Structure formats: structure tokens, C-alpha cells
Amino acid sequence: MNQPAGPLSGLRVIEFSGIGPGPHVAMLLADLGAEVVRIDRPGTQVSNPVVERARHRLALDLKSEAGKAQVRDAVASADVLIEGFRPGVMERLGLGPEELLALNPRLVYARMTGWGQDGPLAHAAGHDINYIAITGALAAVGKPGETATPPQNLVGDFGGGSMYCAFGIMAALYEREKSGKGQVVDAAIVDGATSLMSFFFGVRHAPHLSTARGQGMLGGAAHFYRCFTCADGKEISLGAIEPQFYAEMLSLAGAPEELAQGQMNPANWDDYADKLATLFRTKSQAEWCALLEGSDACFAPVLELDEAREHPHMKARGAYLEHEGAWHTAPAPRFSRTPGSVRSSADDGADVVGRWQAGA
């Protein structure tokens, strides 16, 4: 594995293997230079080479005393621990925060779960769709008269989960600089998803921003904030909220003049949407891109993943990188002096822990 670079270079992280947001947290830290030792069960294979990149892998039997001893050895020299088991699992293994913080008082012990460490549902099984369901986020997504549409697992696992966990880790590390002490980060997806809904919770009585399906401006009810199908069956997106952007969109697209009046009147939205739908079906996606992309019409084509990689703007930004013959998403965010990097994984976790213990 090539040497880590980035603003987190020198940070030592222990990751207990799992699925969903936990590995994504470790990827974010590793991309920015952290040295991550991933503890796997014996025989575990890489399931996602993108999310599991840049790891030093170490296979341990956590039910054995030898395996637990190796974990404690690693933790003694680590800065951060990430685990995503149900509440109580790490405690039953003798690797809970009380034991490990006693061993290493500077440790930031990050616990990534769906329901959180306590509460009536804490020990129940669940997935992204369940976690965002009870926060009000899922109810807002979909078409009126139909059941809610799961937005992949972006809102829960990654938006409300891994991003908040990573933010919590950084906050705890910052506080450690003042106190010299580590602490437990309880990163629950239900908490993060609730926080993501803060804007809508604050404006929940504003009719234009309702989260009720088929009513809110940002939920696809407005004709100027939705997707349309083109002549070739491909789609485009519009987000022309502000009057000046709306006017530019209408002008460049050659829309009927009547659409210029009453933009913000919900009574017009369905009729105006039908007129725009008819208009956008007259040209292909590429033709609409030639007319609208790069303008202030708040326009973008709706692309599949492989198409996104080839989009000129995404290519110019280097949003996707080729590494050892495979395509990866680029580290984010960007840094002016200490950029992150995509690195390979290696089965050298034991060697890395040994180096940590030696003070190297």
C-alpha cells in the first residue's frame, strides 16, 4: 500500500468490519490520510473494493482470548475505533468503551447504529428504510396516492449515518486537543436523519415547502423543480426556483409565454408541468443539454452512474479516478495543501499494529 497523504495523515483508526455506514466512515477517514486497520472475521473477503479501499486488513477471531488480546494491543496505540454492532455486543466481547477507554483514555470510540445505543428500539433489527421512516424523511419521498419511495440508502445509512459519525469523530478529536481525553460517539442514523430534516422541520407550516407528497415545491410538485422525459426517453432535471432563473429557463427552452405568470401559485403547477412535459418531449436529452446546460436555467441531465463518470464537468473535477485498473470515486472534500488520495488495501494489519506499538 502506498503511503497515506492528506489532512488526517498520522491518525490511527481501528475499524471493525461491517456493512453500510461503518465502512463508509472508515473510507472517508482513510481517503484523507488516516491509517485504518480493519479487523475482519477469518475468511472474510472484500465485498466492495471502492468502499473498502485503503485498509490494512487483520483477520481475528474475536471470540478467542488471543483475538481479543490483539485488539487491545491495537487499541492501546490507536486514536479512533469504529464499530457498528448492536448495542451490547462489544461489551459482551470485553471490548466495550469502558474497558478500552480505561486502556487508552485518549481513544475516540465511535458507535455506528441505526436506532442508537438506547431507547425502545435499540436492540431491534432494522435497515435504512426503517430508520428514515420514523424520522419523517421517508414520508416526504414519492408520488401522491402511492406508497413512499425509498431514496436508495443515501438519506439514512450515508447521509444521516456515516457523515454524522465522521463529523462526530472529528469533533471528539478536536475536543481531545483541549482535554486530552477521548470519549464515546453515539452515531445513530435516526439522529442524523432527524438532523437532516431540520430545515423542513423549521418551515413545516410553510405551504410551499410542505413535505406532504404532491404538495411541496422541493418534493417534485412544482413544475419548475422536477424531472421531465425527453424525446429519447432520457430525463432532465429543473431547479429554477428564483424568478430570474425561472425566466431564463422559459426563454432558452422556448416555453409558452403564459408560464411566465403565476410561477409560485400551486394552482398552476400541474397545468404548467403538463405544458413543460409536452415541450421537453420534443427534443432529446443531448439537444436540451446543448440549449440549457451551463446557463442560469438551473438545469442538468439525469445520468446513470457510468454516464456521470463521463460528464465533462465531472471529468474536469476529477470526481472519478482510475486506480489499478478499476474506477473509484475521488476523495472528498478537496484540500488545497494536503489532498487526499485513493489507496489500495493490504493484508498487513498485524505489521501496522506492530509499528504503532513500536512508536513508529
pLDDT for 4: 77
Which of 127, 208, 311, 323 is catalytic? The answer is 127
Is the model more confident about 143 or about 100? 100
Which one-letter DSSP state was computed for residue 311? -
Which of 79, 128, 157, 186 is catalytic? The answer is 157
pLDDT for 354: 93
Q: What is the mean pLDDT of the chain?
A: 96
User: Rounded to 5 degrees, what are φ and ψ at 284?
Assistant: -80, 165
Distance between CA atoms of 190 and 121, rounded to whole angstroms?
11
Straight-line distance from the first to the last Cα atom of the chain, in angstroms, rounded to the nearest whole number:
17
Strand order in the sheet with 183-188: 55-59, 35-40, 12-16, 80-83, 108-113, 183-188
Q: Is 157 a catalytic residue?
A: yes
Contact 246, 236 (CB under 8 A): no
pLDDT for 113: 98
Distance between CA atoms of 346 and 343, rounded to whole angstroms?
10
Grid cell in block for residue 348: 498487513
pLDDT class for 343, splitting at 50, 70, 90?
very high
Task: Reply yes or no on whether the pLDDT at 2 is more than 90.
Answer: no
Grid cell in block for residue 130: 426503517
Distance between CA atoms of 20 and 57, rounded to whole angstroms?
18
Cα diameter, the chain: 76
Percent of the chain exceeding pLDDT 70 equals 99
Q: What angle do CA 165, 51, 105 make, to 5 degrees?
A: 40
Q: Which are the contacts of 114, defined by CB distance < 8 A and separation ≥ 6?
A: 126, 127, 128, 130, 131, 156, 161, 188, 189, 190
Q: Which domains does the chain have, with CATH numbers?
A: 12-197+320-357 (3.40.50.10540), 223-312 (3.30.1540.10)
Contact 99, 76 (CB under 8 A): no
pTM of the full predicted structure? 0.95
DSSP-H helix ranges across the chain: 21-31, 65-75, 89-92, 97-103, 128-133, 163-179, 189-196, 198-202, 243-253, 266-280, 285-292, 305-310, 312-317, 349-357
pLDDT for 219: 93
**Helices 243-253, 285-292: crossing angle, 10 deg rounding:** 130
pLDDT for 3: 67
pLDDT for 292: 98
